[in-house]
Chain A
Amino acid sequence: AIQMTQSPSSLSASVGDRVTITCRASQDIGNDLGWYQQKPGKAPKLLIYIVSTLQSGVPSRFSGSGSGTDFTLTISSLQPEDFATYYCLQNYNYPKTFGQGTKVEIK
C-alpha cells in the first residue's frame, strides 16, 4: 500500500498566519491527491481535489500544489474556523490511503 506521510503532525498558529502542511507519498501518485478538513465530532469535508482544484464553496485562502510524491496545502491567512485537523488522501490506487493528519491549533 502507498504510505502517505504528513508533516507536521500538529502546529500552533495565530489568526492571520500563513500555514503550510506537506504530504509525501511513498511512490509517485501523479496528481491523484485530495485534502480534507475535519472538525471534532464531524465528518471530513473535501477541500481540494486533483492536487489544486478547489471544491465548490471552499474559500480561496486554501490552495494546493505539488506532483508526483510531494504535495502542499496552504492556508494563506488562517481564520478562526480553520482550526481543525487536515488529511491528505491518495487516489492513485487501492487501497486508498490517508495521511495521519495535521492538527492546526490556536497559538
Chain B
Amino acid sequence: EVQLVESGGGLVQPGGSLRLSCAVSEFTSTRYWMSWVRQAPGKGLEWVANIKLDGSQRNYLDSVKDRFTISRDNAQTSVYLQMNNLRAEDTAVYYCARVTLFSGDFDFWGQGTLVTVSS
C-alpha cells in the first residue's frame, strides 16, 4: 500500500527556514503529482503547492510563492518543501498528499508534520 511519511517540522522563529520531507513508497511513476496541504490549528485545509513527479511542472499558493519551493529527488522517492522567510501565519500541520491519476483529488495522505513559527 502507498505510504507517505513526512518529517522536518518544528519550531522556528519568524524569518527563519525549514525543509519538510515526504518519503514516498510503493509508486514511482512520473505521471503522478504530489502536493503539500496545510491546516492551521483549529482551522480548515489549505492547498500549498504541487509538483509533477517528472519535475516538469509546479504550482504554488500565491501567499507562499517566492518563499516556498517544492521539489523531488531524481528517484521520485521523496518530495520536499523548502520554506524560507517563515511567518506566524505559516504555522500549521503540513500534510504531503498524492494526487490521483483520475482527478485532481488527493487519494493518499501522510500523517502530517507540525510547523510552528514563533519567537
Contact = CB atoms under 8 A, between A and B. Distances in A.
Nearest to A87: B45
B112 A96 contact: no
Interface residues of A, number: 24
A9 B64 CA distance: 27
A43 B47 CA distance: 14
Given A43-B111, A44-B45, A98-B45, A91 B104 contact: yes
A55 B107 contact: yes
Q: Summarize A's interface: helix, strand, loop or mixed.
A: loop
Contacts, number: 62
Interface in A72-96: 87, 89, 91, 94-96
A49 B44 contact: no
Interface residues of B, number: 22
B15 to A, nearest CB: 24
Interface string A46-87: 100110010100000000000000000000000000000001
Contacts of A97: 47
Contact of B104 (A44, A45, A53, A96): A96
Interface string B21-46: 00000000000000101000000111
Contacts of B109: 43-45
Interface of A: 1, 32, 34, 36, 38, 43-46, 49-50, 53, 55, 87, 89, 91, 94-101
Q: Which 5 A-B pairs have CB atoms at the shortest separation, nearest pair first?
A: A91-B104, A43-B109, A34-B105, A96-B47, A49-B105
